[in-house]
Chains A and B, each alone.
Chain A
C-alpha cells in the first residue's frame, strides 16, 4: 500500500537527490540540516563511509583466512591411542563414505560452497557498482540479500567441533581435540559477515537515480 511518487520512466526520487535526511534506523524524518537523528541519535549519512574500501579489505582478509581454514585440520580424533586429523573437506568425504549423504551435503554446502559463494558474490557486487551502466539492479540486490542472509550459516562446522570436543573426552579410549582451522574458519565467517555488512547496497542503484 505505497504510493509511488515517481514512475519508473522518469528519474526516481531518492533521498540523495532530494537532500532528505530520513533516518535509516528509526525512519524518523529529520530537518534537512540535521547531522544526528533527532529521534534515535544515529549519525546521519547518505552513504556508508568508504564502503567499497572496507568491503574489499575485509574480502582480502577472508580470502587469506580461507587458506589455513581448509589446509589445517579442524579437529583431531584420538581413537584407542591412534590420532587422526580431519580437515573440513576431509570430514565431508568421510561422512559421504559412511553413507550419511544429507549431513555430508549440509556440511559441504555450509562450509565449502557458502564461503566461496559469498566471497565471489561480494567481489562481483564490488565490480558491478563500479560500472557506469547498471542493468538488472533488482537481481544484484537479490544476490546481496541472499549473501547477507546465508552468511551466518557457515558457522555450523565450528559449532559441530565445539560440541564434539565437549562431548567426546574419554582419554585414550576416544577423544576429540579442536584444530587450528576452527579459529581460521570462525574468522573467515566473521570477516565475510562484516564485508557484507559494510557493503552499501545503495551503490547498486546509484546510476539509475
Chain B
C-alpha cells in the first residue's frame, strides 16, 4: 500500500493533487481554503514533549488544593474533583458527568492517545489498536473543553472577588500548565501528517 497522491477535501469534496511541501509551509484546498496539513520542524518531538508534560501536569493537578475561598473567619478549600462532587450532591449527575468528561477524561485521553501513537511511530512498533487509537483522537478533539473550564474558573472568580478573598492552590497552577500543554499539542497535532507516519510504520518497514 502506498501513500495517497491525491486527497479529497474534507469540507468541499474537491480532489486535490498532493505535492511535497517543505517545513513551514502548509497545504490548503484551493477552493475552500481548508488546511490539510502544516509542516512544522520537529513536529514529532514537540508533540511528545508537550504530550508528556501535559499528562504529568494533569496528574499533579489532582494532588493539591485547587482553590481557597476565605471570608470573615470561615474558609473553604476545594480540590479539582470537588467541582464535580458538589454538583453530584445536588443530584445534577448529568452536568457532573459532562464536566468530568469534557474537562478531565477527554483531554487526558487525547494526550494519552497522541503519545501512544507517537511512540509507535517513533520506534516503529506495531502496537495493538494503533489505527483505532489514531481514529479516536480525531473523534475526541472537538469535545475537549479544558480551556473553556479555565475561562469559566476565571469568570467565576471575578464574580466573587468582591465577596471574599480567593487563593489559588498548586493544583490550579498545574491545571493551567496542563491546558497550555494540551493547547500546544493540539496546535502541532496534524491528522494528515499523523496518518502519513502511521502508514510508514504499518506498510513500509
Let me know if A197 is at the binding interface, CB within 8 A.
Answer: yes
Instruction: Pick the contact of B15: A15, A46, A138 (CB < 8 A).
Output: A15
Task: Annotate A134-168 by CB proximity to B: 1 below 8 A, 0 otherwise.
Answer: 00011001000100000011011111101111111
Contact between B160 and A41, CB atoms less than 8 A apart: no
User: Which residues of chain A have a CB within 8 Å of any CB of chain B?
Assistant: 1-5, 8, 12-16, 18, 20, 22, 24-29, 38-42, 46, 95, 98, 100, 103, 106-107, 137-138, 141, 145, 152-153, 155-160, 162-170, 173-174, 177-178, 182-183, 186, 190, 193, 197, 201-202, 204-205, 209
> With A and B bound together, what is the CA distance between A160 and B157 in angstroms?
9
Once A41-B135, A159-B149 are accepted as A-B contacts, the answer to whether A174 and B86 lie under 8 Å apart by CB is no
B91's nearest neighbour on chain A, judged by CB, is A178
- Nearest A residue (CB) for B96: A162
Contact B159 A164 (CB under 8 A): yes
CB–CB B159/A95 < 8 A: yes
Q: Report whether B159 and A42 are in contact in the complex, using a CB–CB cutoff of 8 Å.
A: no
B105 at the interface (CB under 8 A from A): no
Contact B160 A164 (CB under 8 A): yes
Cross-chain contact of A155 among B29, B102, B191 (Cβ < 8 A):
B102
Q: B45 contacts the other chain (Cβ, under 8 Å)?
A: no
Given A2-B28, A202-B12, A162 and B142 touching (CB < 8 A)?
no
Q: Beta-carbon contacts of B22-56 to A below 8 Å, as 1s and 0s?
A: 00010111111100100000000000000000000
